[in-house]
Homo-oligomer: A and B are copies of this chain.
Amino acid sequence: MTKKDTITILEIAEMSGVNPSTVSRVINHPEMVNEKTREKVQAFIKECNYQPNPFARGLQTKRSKIVALVVPNFTTLSFANLARGIQERLMQSDYSMVIFSSHEDEVLEKKICKKISDLHIDGVIFASSMMPNYDELSYGIAKVFIDRDGSLDGIDTFILDVEGAFDKLIKYLVDKGHSNIGFVVGDKKSYAGLKKISAFKKAMKNHGLEVDEKFIVGALWSSKEGWNATSKLLEGKDIPSVIIAGSDTLGIGVIGAVNSKGLSVPEDISVVGFNNEPGSESMNPPLTTMEYDDYGMGQEVADAIIKRINKPEGEIEIKIYTMDIIERKTVRKHLLTNKIIYD
């Protein structure tokens, strides 16, 4: 408003009585310039609120100071928190974040990769991405993977230890006397769904439990879908004593469906959620669930991509995030088998 629109390095140079390249040095390599000149120039820069033109700078340096985040969607809470962590930390380091939602669609992901390359973005963070290939991505761009193993490709990777989480969870349930365990996955075909199913099966085996395929039911990620899937699970007389939901949102539907059958949680059937979404602590009854620090992960991921941008050949970082059980009121000790209760 009150500001002149185009103040350039040339004007700063004139004011300071030095050459433009000296001003440039003050900005980019302050150590190369004499203290007195530096301070004089810095004073003018500050006074004029001068900021280098990013186009001119980018044209020269081939750097945009922009990082892209690709997530399957914006609405899943853990992605929103992740994005928040990333954005805040990036901003601290003077980077900006562009964000794309891929819907786990390979074609769209390709388009996004192309777009990212065309924009000359410095680094990309892929969260739960399909990434069948990334030919469209310009060679050498910094990359970080979240929840997809890139270690073989020499890519920094942040993984959520879903296997460990299910292991903890199944152990917890077994300790409570459960053995008939149902699982209302989200979208069975999504990356997150596939990963959870495999972790679930592995954990079951680890604890000597048989996996009954009909106890694993798919749904999209909404509560309503969870409700419907659970209803199916509850048909017939061979019924689980506890149901794991692939997310807390799904868990709402699970509890709804259990109630609608005239059964109570946890008296008749126990339920556990996933992700500790806001609201789950205030549900009726408060939902036992699994959580991890998505926001903190976002911050560390942002640090990692910046590091990678500045040091393409640095050592690859692999970091694993563990999940913990938040014990609330939806799981109770199971002493009798289902057969005895329902037969």
Contact = CB atoms under 8 A, between A and B. Distances in A.
Contacts of A117: 51
A145 to B, nearest CB: 16
Interface in A258-293: 259, 278-284, 286
B98 A97 contact: yes
How many copies of this chain does the complex contain? 2
B84 A101 contact: yes
A118 B66 CA distance: 13
A226 B75 contact: no
Nearest to A60: B55
A115 B91 contact: yes
Interface string A56-91: 111100001010000001110100110110011001
Contact of A278 (B97, B100, B222): B222
Contacts of A223: 278-283
A2 B55 contact: no
A54 interface: yes
Interface in A24-63: 51, 53-59
B224 A3 contact: no
Interface centre among A2, A54, A139, A140 (most CB of B within 10 A): A54
Contacts of A119: 54, 96
28 contacts: A1-B135, A1-B137, A5-B138, A5-B139, A5-B140, A51-B117, A54-B58, A54-B120, A55-B57, A55-B58, A55-B64, A56-B59, A73-B84, A75-B77, A75-B278, A80-B80, A87-B100, A87-B101, A96-B119, A97-B99, A98-B98, A223-B283, A226-B282, A249-B279, A252-B279, A253-B282, A256-B286, A284-B284
Given A54-B119, A59-B59, 10 more contacts: A2-B135, A3-B139, A54-B55, A74-B83, A75-B80, A88-B101, A96-B98, A97-B99, A98-B99, A284-B284
Top-4 shortest CB links A-B: A223-B282, A55-B58, A55-B59, A253-B282
Interface of A: 1-3, 5, 51, 53-59, 64, 66, 73-75, 77, 80-81, 83-84, 87-88, 91, 96-101, 115, 117-120, 134-135, 137-140, 222-224, 226-227, 249, 252-253, 255-256, 259, 278-284, 286
